Amino acid sequence: MQFRTLAKALATVAATAIVAPAAFAQNTMVGGAEMMPSMTIVENASNSADHTTLVAAVKAAGLVETLSGEGPFTVFAPTNAAFEKLPEGTVEDLLKPENKDQLTKVLTCHVVAADAMSPAIGQMIADDGGAHPVETLGGCILTASIRESDNALQLTDENGNVATVTIPDVDQSNGVVHVIDTVMLPAM
């Protein structure tokens, strides 16, 4: 009798050990906040201390409802530091009501109408011989590539600006976010 009870207890512990890590896995942290896969892109971005400029820009452009929608979307989300790399006064000018169309164009050049996790993007890059064109909702063409030195996913905009994905594959209820370190700009 005791042997059966012990065997049952060990089987329960073993099953729990296999399931427990998945049940208690922590979600990706961005800007000091846990990104919840059950929340939308806008809801999660609003919780990130590193994306306050992006959230303000999304609100000013009237894109909150769109990026809270069903999707799926892949958003290459520039950090506050990425916006700070732009020439002085650029962000302030873009946030003015009279520049809403230009702001919308810049922001939608960071959004793709797909749910593209980094392994899928990496495969597309490999299939295309090292560079894959990515068409955005804003009509911009970004070129995705892999930096050989550290296998980092990079994007190059139509002006030659290069962004590196610093946090990939942040799962959202309506798509995925890849945090980037440079703002992508439409062709000038």
- pLDDT tens by residue, 31-66: 777 888 888 899 988 888 999 999 999 999 999 999
In the chain, what is the greatest distance between 2 CA atoms, to the nearest angstrom? Answer: 80
pTM for this prediction: 0.84
What pLDDT, on the 0 to 100 scale, is given for residue 34?
82
Per-residue pLDDT at 134 exceeds 90: yes
Domains of the chain: 2-180 (2.30.180.10)
pLDDT (average), residues 155-184: 95
What pLDDT, on the 0 to 100 scale, is given for residue 156?
98
Per-residue pLDDT at 158 exceeds 60: yes
Higher pLDDT, 170 or 23: 170
Q: Label residues 87-119 b or e (16+ Cβ within 10 Å = b).
A: eeeebeebbeeebeeebbbbbbbbbbebebbbe
- Do 116 and 171 form a contact (C-beta atoms < 8 A)? no
How high is the mean pLDDT of the chain? 86
**% of the chain with per-residue pLDDT over 70:** 86
Which residue is listed with tokens 């099953």?
Answer: 15
- pLDDT tens by residue, 60-97: 999 999 999 999 999 999 999 999 999 999 999 999 99
pLDDT (average), residues 135-164: 96
Backbone angles phi, psi at 72, to 5 degrees: -80, 150
Q: State the Cα–Cα distance between residues 79 and 173, nearest whole angstrom.
A: 21
What pLDDT, on the 0 to 100 scale, is given for residue 186?
94
Backbone torsion region of residue 69, taken as left when φ is above 0, otherwise alpha when ψ lies between -120 and 50, otherwise beta: beta
What pLDDT, on the 0 to 100 scale, is given for residue 141?
97
Q: State the Cα–Cα distance between residues 122 and 64, nearest whole angstrom.
A: 29
What pLDDT, on the 0 to 100 scale, is given for residue 32?
77
